[in-house]
Amino acid sequence: MTDRPTELVTPVVADPDVVALLNDIFGRYRKERPPRQADADLDRDLWRQLDDLGLTRLSAPEASGGSGASWAEAAALLSVAAGAAAPVPLAEHDVLGAWLLDTAGLPHDGALRTVCRPDPAGAAADVPWARSADAVVALWRDDRDRWLVADVPAARLAVDERRNLAGEPSDTVRFDRADLAAGVEVPPAVAEQFRLRGALARTAQVAGAMERVLEVVLTHANERVQFGRPIGRFQAMQHLVTDIAAETALARAATDAAVARAVASDWQDPGMLFAVGVAKSCAGHASSVVVRGAHQVVGAIGTTLEHELHTLTLPILVRRGEYGSVHHWDETITHLAASAGHDGLWTLITTGRSGQETEEVRA
């Protein structure tokens, strides 16, 4: 037992009106979207609809043209959109790109943007939606160890078009070094928060997609009849569905806990690293169980263009490795736990900080 008070963060709930709107939009999108193709290109009609409703800059401040919502609503948007397999760059444009522009004091004209971290030579690989973007927001460190943010029009970029496992645009972008050098300097802490924001955004997307996978699996298990009864009545199938449900719930709980800490502290809590690391680790490990189990339940039809399942599971496998692999985040939280030691482990779990750090904060 310890007499140190815990600092558990109260769970946050997204605005019910916003959630209802999101469910309506993306519920209709699932029913009315164009026939699926092997490649997932930007749905410009959907993007225009979301933009008209103020959802493409949902979390950006009203002063800079955003809707001023919290990360609770932003995470809900990312989750619901991922559950509909909507091919739109909401994370890149809003919670990453618009945030970087606001942080650097750069204007945002409403044009579609994506983000990347160029290397010292000015090249960035695996840039989502680069070919469809009007501009790319770059965060990079120069040879003077300064962190800079640059907003570069697409016309000034060289884009080598590629695709990821899910068939989504994941391009290689090359910048003119002069464009990057003209960027605005930001504090080093911005780079770390960018990484954490990206990781939590991807975790919210994975959790939302897995929740939809669970719905698809339950429907199939109840409707598919084999040997005179629904396959959901077979014990082997029940074990698979139970594993999918349990892992999805764990990923959602860890994601919501990290979102709550982000909302409560506006990302300033030192415990964000641990909270995001736990969420990313839980969602990453869950994704293996969920994807494997879902395709076992649904069978070969789940890999066809006609079926919804593969439009969910392939992005899950892509997202789990972005902004840090599962192994990277496992190592991160393991290091934090080992550093906290026996006496500080419970404090780490409840606050995201070691006991020593917590005492320093109180002092």
* Tens-level pLDDT at each residue, the chain (363 residues): 344 445 777 888 999 999 999 999 999 999 998 888 889 999 999 999 999 999 999 999 888 888 999 999 999 999 999 999 999 999 999 999 999 999 999 998 889 999 999 999 999 999 999 999 999 999 999 989 999 999 999 999 999 999 999 999 999 999 998 999 899 999 999 999 999 999 999 999 999 999 999 999 999 999 988 888 998 889 999 999 999 999 999 999 999 999 999 999 999 999 999 999 999 999 999 999 999 999 999 998 888 888 999 999 999 999 999 999 999 999 999 999 999 998 899 899 888 886 554 443 333
Pairing between β-strand 113-116 and β-strand 135-141 as defined by DSSP bridges:
parallel
Distance (Å) of CA 344 to CA 35, 275, 330, 340? 54, 16, 19, 5
The whole model's pTM is what? 0.94
Which domains are assigned to the chain? 106-186 (2.40.110.10), 189-362 (1.20.140.10)
Q: In the chain, which ranges are E strands? A: 113-116, 123-128, 135-141, 147-153, 158-160, 170-174, 184-186, 225-226, 229-230
